[in-house]
A and B are shown apart, each in its own frame.
Chain A
Amino acid sequence: DAKTTQPPSMDCAEGRAANLPCNHSTISGNEYVYWYRQIHSQGPQYIIHGLKNNETNEMASLIITEDRKSSTLILPHATLRDTAVYYCIVRGPYYGGATNKLIFGTGTLLAVQP
């Protein structure tokens, strides 16, 4: 079962920042927060991940609260092509066996409006 809670859907105006929240109140100290997205009829795409510090890359920023119980993915200037289902996933380091698997929940459907 997914360890995260996300709103089922959100809207965002094109050109504005999209802020996607995620709750992961049971996260352990060594577990990472990952964000992936799935554009319609395509395979999931990695966006960003973080452990404690905020992270930024060319696609997005990840803000993790100090207690690590929640995070926000920020798409700074959303475009129509950012319309997708966004998945927030918690996963620990690899210790063998199935510990490297990603568990996808239901995600948030972000609809970017023109």
Chain B
Amino acid sequence: DTAVSQTPKYLVTQMGNDKSIKCEQNLGHDTMYWYKQDSKKFLKIMFSYNNKELIINETVPNRFSPKSPDKAHLNLHINSLELGDSAVYFCASSQDVGGHEQYFGPGTRLTVT
């Protein structure tokens, strides 16, 4: 069983569109994260949720809106996509906010044309 799963794995879309990436973890963890890895391979945190509550928002444009319907899911919705949004997006989870181990999903490669 996959611990942290993301869908879709690849997403190609045009500028201006709205898209969503879904993330699910079956580890029973309380805390989930979204990271962005750009073309230069820099990996940076975007958001963190703990028990469905937002605890980190790293000055991400408000076109990005995370939603956590329950603590096993953290979805990322992106409005009005721009070329600069092209990147690989990783979801992760940890047991709690202080958890030493973060488990990452396989990533979603978003390409905006």
List of B residues within 8 angstroms of A38 by Cβ: 43
Chain B residue nearest to A2 (CB atoms) is B42
Distance of A46 Cα from B92 Cα, bound (Å):
11
Residues of chain B in range 1-46 having any CB-CB distance to chain A below 8 Å: 4, 31, 41-45
Contact-residue bracket for chain A:
20 to 34
List of A residues within 8 angstroms of B106 by Cβ: 42-43
Could you tell me if A44 and B43 are in contact, using CB atoms closer than 8 angstroms?
yes
Main secondary structure of the interface of A (DSSP, over half): loop
Chain B residue nearest to A100 (CB atoms) is B97
Interface: A9 (CB within 8 A): no
Could you tell me if A44 and B104 are in contact, using CB atoms closer than 8 angstroms?
yes
Chain A residue nearest to B96 (CB atoms) is A94
List of B residues within 8 angstroms of A85 by Cβ: 41
What is the interface size of chain B, counting residues whose CB is below 8 A from a CB of the partner?
A: 25
Could you tell me if B100 and A98 are in contact, using CB atoms closer than 8 angstroms?
no
Residues of chain A in range 82-114 having any CB-CB distance to chain B below 8 Å: 85, 87, 93-94, 96-98, 100-104, 106
Tell me which of B31, B97, B99, B105 has the highest count of chain A C-beta atoms within 10 A of its own C-beta: B97
Could you tell me if B97 and A46 are in contact, using CB atoms closer than 8 angstroms?
no
Could you tell me if A43 and B97 are in contact, using CB atoms closer than 8 angstroms?
no
List of A residues within 8 angstroms of B107 by Cβ: 41-43
Could you tell me if A45 and B104 are in contact, using CB atoms closer than 8 angstroms?
yes
Distance of A32 Cα from B101 Cα, bound (Å):
12
Known: A44-B43, A97-B55. A102 touches B102 (CB 8 A): yes
Could you tell me if A44 and B90 are in contact, using CB atoms closer than 8 angstroms?
yes
B33 CB to nearest A CB, Å: 8
Known: A97-B55, A98-B55, A98-B56. A46 touches B101 (CB 8 A): yes
Could you tell me if B42 and A43 are in contact, using CB atoms closer than 8 angstroms?
no
Q: What 4 pairs between A and B have smallest CB-CB spacing?
A: A43-B104, A94-B98, A104-B43, A46-B101
A/B interface sample: 5 pairs, CB < 8 A: A94-B97, A94-B98, A100-B31, A100-B97, A104-B42
